[in-house]
Amino acid sequence: MDRREGKKVQFLATMTLQIAFLGSPLFLAALAGGLCMKLDCLKWLKSPIDAGLLFRGRRVFGDNKTWRGLCLMTLFSTLGGWVQSLIQREGLLPQWLPLCDYGRLWLPVGAGLGLGAALGELPNSFLKRQLGVQPGKRKNGLLWTFFFLLDQVDLTIGVWVFLYFLIRPTDWLVIWSFVLTVPLHLLISLIGYGLGMRKTVS
């Protein structure tokens, strides 16, 4: 490996670790949400966000998008942001790793992660319902490929909507975050499916 290639690898590795640390509260939120779904906790929050409303004779989002999921994602991502702030305040992080001052911004960053991830899935769900794709089901052909990819990155779109102007990331970091989201989301979904926390892998 020559010097130029080494710098490229270091550049990608640095961005990977920065993105992983930024998004780490989402792992906590996913775990909490998965356990809650498996144990069927907080049933009073299980009502669908769209309240059963129809658009063109079809559900807006469907039964799978609930207030429980939205609240848990936001709460535990915010909690994760607070933990990040404690770690940074203790000086346990290299200076290049955090993408923002978590001591000052942990609340909007943590809440933005959770809200962005949860709300970012809603346009995807709306589009599926309008095209007649039922929750947990798939269409064949190009439509399946489109929704498969969208299922992996919709939360990343939502996260950047909330965090872009707080963090001011480089274009390369945003692009790389989408590349990383696909395998990471699939891995988390696979783990959740294996633990009985999800009904489908993707």
Q: What is the pLDDT of residue 51?
A: 93
What are the sequence ranges of the domains in the chain? 21-194
Q: What is the pLDDT of residue 195?
A: 62
Q: What is the pLDDT along the chain (202 residues), one digit of tens a residue?
A: 677 788 889 999 999 999 999 999 999 998 898 888 888 889 899 999 999 999 999 999 999 899 999 999 999 999 999 999 999 999 999 999 999 999 999 999 999 999 999 999 999 999 999 988 877 666 666 777 888 888 889 999 999 999 999 999 999 999 999 999 988 887 777 776 666 666 665 5
Q: What is the pLDDT of residue 137?
A: 64
Q: What is the pLDDT of residue 1?
A: 60
Residue 48 dihedral angles phi and psi, to the nearest 5°: -65, 145
